Amino acid sequence: MSQVRVHNFSISLDGFGTGEGLTLEAPFGHAGERLHEWMVATRFFHTMTGETGGSAGVDNVFAERHEPGIGAEIMGRGKFGPPQQGPWTDIGTDAEWRGWWGPNPPFHTPVFVLTHYPRPSIEMEGGTTFHFVDASPQEALELAREAAGDLDVRIGGGPTIVRDFLAADLIDYLHIVQAPLLLGRGVRLWDGLEGIEERFDVEVISSPRGVTHITMTRRQGE
């Protein structure tokens, strides 16, 4: 059976996966880029953005696991585009939103965007197609598994989506990166997840850069 994985999901010391005040210009709100500085510094990120260099240590070996073996991603509407609620207003217009990532997004697989307002799929260059589905975590996972074939499904975030999939006990592998800062406000990852660590083997390793990699791997047979 294919696995359901979360990679490189960054939170603050106080547990926020994104800040407050999200806009087109500030996708993570007042958090800015601070949660992800560790990743921007890696060779993984440099390569993805067409640059050379970048760190190649523990942060990078974790970061690189984002891609291999993934056949589909599930993300929230809040990850796909700037904050908006209700029916989409841009379909067919010149301003139609096609994601933050340019014409060739770094997914290269089907991506299922959870929204209460389905809309036609958007096919991008490089193998990424955005599908928009109004579905429960279980239903979305069924669609994504079918699309992924033998490969794994990545849960891409934001924090509410990761939390919902954890609460529904659908995650096999969780990689969280805790950055050494206090956001004070935003959307928390861990709310309402009392005791879930009992289903996982938990490992923790700090990196020289000052972030902490937390991995939770589902125990065999559980």
Q: Which residues bind a second copy (CB under 8 A)?
A: 13-15, 178, 180-185, 190-197, 202-206, 210-212, 214
Closest by Cα among 117, 30, 34 to 81 = 117
Closest by Cα among 212, 148, 154 to 180 = 212
> Of 24 and 61, which has the nearer Cβ to a second copy?
61
DSSP state of 106: T
Spatial contact of 6 and 215, defined as CB atoms under 8 Å apart: no
CB of 65 to a second copy, least distance (A): 18
Spatial contact of 37 and 180, defined as CB atoms under 8 Å apart: no
> Of 42 and 215, which has the nearer Cβ to a second copy?
215
> Of 98 and 185, which has the nearer Cβ to a second copy?
185
SS3 139: helix
CB of 198 to a second copy, least distance (A): 8
What is the rounded distance in angstroms from the CA atom of residue 117 to the CA atom of residue 128?
Answer: 20
> Of 75 and 187, which has the nearer Cβ to a second copy?
187
> Of 30 and 98, which has the nearer Cβ to a second copy?
30
> Of 88 and 190, which has the nearer Cβ to a second copy?
190
CB of 138 to a second copy, least distance (A): 22
SS3 176: strand
CB of 140 to a second copy, least distance (A): 24
CB of 114 to a second copy, least distance (A): 24
Our CA angle for 118, 107, 16, nearest 5°, is 75
Distances (CA, A) of 220 to 5, 78, 154, 186: 15, 33, 19, 34
What is the rounded distance in angstroms from the CA atom of residue 218 to the CA atom of residue 3?
Answer: 10
CA-based torsion, 39, 13, 31, 84: positive or negative: positive
CB of 39 to a second copy, least distance (A): 16
